[in-house]
A and B are shown apart, each in its own frame.
Chain A
Amino acid sequence: MLQSLTGGARQIDCDAKNIRQVIERLDELYPGIRDRLVEDGELRENLAVAIDGDIAIMGMLEKVGANSEVHFVPAIGGGS
């Protein structure tokens, strides 16, 4: 997603300690990407962030490790 802003890049390496910093680094590299991911200081309602395959329960505050893999994915609820 959002590859129109990243010049087609699907994967970006960056130094960050939490998701907020990940998004700041992304926005430094690709201005405007923060506004596409964040609204009123929180992840957009339809988005979730996963760190190493687990949905981050603390959103922007969630810590990331030195070799963590971070994905922005659709937020999923459920029915039954």
Chain B
Amino acid sequence: MTSNQVLSEVEFNVVGKRPIRPDGVDKVTGRAQYGADTNMTGALQAKVLRSPYPHARIKSIDVSKAEAFPGVKAVITAKDLPFAALSKEELGDGYTALKYASDHMMASDKVLFKGHPIAAIAAVNAHVAESAMALIQVDYEELESVVDVREAMKDGAPLVHEDLRTNDMGQISDKPSNIAAHMSYSTGDIDKGFAEADLVMEREYTTATVHQGYIEPHNSTAFWNTDGQLNIWTSTQGSFAVRAAVANVLRLPVSKIKVTPMEIGGGFGGKITAYLDAITAVLSKKAGVPVRTLMTRSEVFEASGPAPASWMRVKIGVKNNGKMTAVETDIAMDAGAYPGSPAMQAIVCAFACYDVTNGKVDGYDVVVNKPKTAAYRAPGSPQAAFGVESLIDEICGELKLDPIEFRLLNAAKEGTRRIEGLVAKRIGLVECLEAARDHDHYKSKLSGENTGRGVACGYWPNRGFQSSVVMTVHFDGTVSLLMGSVDIGGTRASIAQQTAETLGIAYEDVKPTIVDTDSIGYTFITGGSRTSFATGLAAITAADDVKEQMITRAAKIWDTSEDDIEYVNGTVSHKSDEELKFSFKDLARQLATTGGTISGRSNIDPTGEGNGYAVHLVDLKVDPETGKTDVTRYTAVQDAGKAVHPGYVEGQMQGGAVQGIGWALNEEYFFDPTGKMLNPTFLDYRMPTTLDLPMIDTVIVEVANPGHPYGVRGVGEPAIVPPMAAIGNAIHGATGHRMRSLPMTPGKILEAGWENGNSSGG
């Protein structure tokens, strides 16, 4: 039986309740409009020709036969993108950035990963486009590729970019390298710290390339009108991010581009990059009609942005009582074909759960011949936690210390200075650890052979960034709430709840709508676990704006000063005359005759986001004959600050845990030695299903974030951070084998057993 607990500090009227989601009916009846549902009159269907090689020079492309194929209306290559006509002199320092951005959408001189777009065709239907694709002749010069992050770092490795030089904290190296960037932070004296330790352990860990696995493939529909206006309908986590990316690559002013975000069938960070929009737009311009492009599942795997594979070395020194004296890590992450892995986020997150006096962290961003990696839920943090939390468990085993008590002894808390220098504000890691320690799961006895229990912590800083909201009061007392934040996890509801709470009205009287980029001010992506916090704050600010205007109207009606009026829980009252009061709906009815409707607005860029922490417990059983791991019990504990909609928070915690379980046990890109992915389907890329897992128990811990009036913290990301280490630690309990490479497949568990002299995996 599943258990969901909420450990609340404060109760509100609407915030903290579990209302029905505003988009629920459309989604369960199949009427919600996703990108693939876009079906404009006269629209063409497009297909993208992709490189069969992970690394090759493009010597020539001949599209003439494809262009002549009946039903084909437009064919484009990189020569049709503005970058082809721009010189290094014109672009100056911006040359490389634009070349990377433009080439990522369509390769000009080299292909850098299998699946790299080469050309695109718009035709009367997808079958015609696909047939014509076979007629495009590309002459490649195949080049040696590099796919492993450590191999790519070596001198003499094949260069993904001949001109890329290492940016070492602002200093650019002399010679080309696949190491795009290095960053380092330290605190205290690590030599002294390790010298003071009673036990020092050092291990290496690796993780595989994994995909977010969203159900809906990427899609884009574009219509470049003859007046120069470009309209795009797409599946994205950030309509303004798509607008910016298209404007950059197509050298257009943003005012010429309107992006309408369609419903999104999952993102998890993977739907921030705009893969199809610019090339679909150019096809539309060339054909003069709307064009729609849809990726297949294999294209999603091979040509969107998975999470990076990584290598890390972790070293920790501790006293015999478990107190950490020094920590150190090097983390190298593969960025894929273009720089930008989350290695620097990984080094910030690696030891953020602990109060560390002496520490040093180094991160390396490394390009390889794989698709450019993208964000995936707490980017960088899960890989780092796998190393750190695994080694901590090994230390606890060596010193015979309880893993939760060890973490409580070393836990970061308010005032803890992290290695990069920032001081933690009010955070809830200790409360999460205590909730885990006191949970029935942790107190229960583990029974049966080949069973193990694991514990691990996780951290994500959370983010603020810009959000815009406009809300309008209708004469019937309902409120239209317009926002630019795409809803990927229930934020329509969570922001409507914060609006209703602030206005003191019913949740059902707030109607949230996500609008296009022309209809709202700039709004940063839905990502970084920012939306319920930042767009929620924008909604609160806009609601405060409405409240002030409602007071002004009441003052006008009562012919009194605004100072005599107060707005409390949805009622506007005269402070000294009990007879004079309006409910929100009553006053709304009088708006038409007192100056017209009222709109509140807010454009904010808030700080104070409040860091997120999670602690996970897992029980599992390993079959010693097959090496197969079955998760038998799982509990996720997380500080949500204040869970605006506890049902959605539980969903985030369970979803993150499930994705982490897949990352831990099954999921990986299999590459051949040259970098060709061998398993680009859901049949061969094994994500966990409901049949593989128990229900995930949850404990929402509410340690109010002082940076938000209702205490809200982001919740979308911390839950994917602990599972890999928690499971690895439990596998050790079940088998005695320390697993230091993800995924921990049956084969690897059996191999570990054989290496340890067991005839079977157990």
Is A1 located at the chain interface by the 8 A CB criterion? Answer: yes
Q: A40-B93, A74-B420, A80-B529 are in contact. Are A57 and B463 (CB under 8 A)?
A: no
A78-B348 in contact (CB<8A) = no
Check if B348 sits within 8 Å of A77, measured CB to CB: no
B217 at the interface (CB under 8 A from A): no
Binding site for B on A (CB under 8 A): 1-3, 10, 35-37, 40, 44, 46, 50, 53-55, 57, 69, 71, 73-80
- Minimum Cβ distance to chain A for residue B609 (Å): 8
How many A-B contacts at CB < 8 Å in the complex? 104
Contacts of A1 in B (CB 8 A): 169, 183-185
Contact of B375 among A37, A55, A79 (CB under 8 A): A79
Please count how many residues in chain B sit with their CB below 8 Å of the partner chain's CB atoms: 54
Q: Which of chain B's residues have a CB closer than 8 A to the CB of A75? A: 344
Q: Mark B513-535, 1 if CB is under 8 A from A, else 0.
A: 00000000000010111100000
Q: How near does chain A come to B460, taking the closest CB pair, in angstroms?
A: 7
Complex Cα spacing A54 to B348, Å: 15
Bound complex: CA A69 to CA B528 (Å) = 24
For residue B674, CB closer than 8 A to chain A, the reply is no
Q: A36-B169, A79-B377, A80-B716 are in contact. Are A74 and B183 (CB under 8 A)?
A: yes
Contact A76 B527 (CB under 8 A): no
Nearest-Cβ distance from residue B497 to partner chain A, whole angstroms? 19
Q: Chain A residues near B377 (CB, 8 Å)?
A: 79-80
Give the distance in Å from the alpha carbon of A11 to the alpha carbon of B198 in the complex.
30
Assess the B527–A36 pair: CB atoms within 8 A. no
Does B605 lie within 8 Å of A57, measured CB to CB? Answer: yes
Docked complex Cα distance between A78 and B461 (Å): 9
Contact B460 A78 (CB under 8 A): yes
With a cutoff of 8 Å between Cβ atoms, the chain B residues found around residue A40 in the complex are 93
Task: Say whether B6 faces chain A, with CB atoms less than 8 Å apart.
Answer: no
A3-B186, A79-B378, A80-B378 as given contacts; A53 in contact with B423, CB under 8 Å: yes
Neighbouring B residues of A53 by C-beta, 8 Å? 422-425
CB nearest to B183 among chain A residues: A74
Chain B residues near A57 (CB, 8 Å)? 464, 605, 607
Separation of A75 and B331 alpha carbons in the complex (Å):
17
Which residue from chain B places its CB closest to the CB of A45 in the assembled complex?
B97
B270's closest neighbor in chain A, by CB? A79
Given the complex, which residues of A lie within 8 Å of B607, measured CB to CB? 54-55, 57
CB distance from B375 to the nearest CB of A (A): 3
Which of chain B's residues have a CB closer than 8 A to the CB of A35?
170
- B608 near A: Cβ within 8 Å? yes
Contacts of B171 in A (CB 8 A): 36
Contact flag A50-B530 (CB < 8 Å), given A40-B93, A57-B607, A77-B379: no
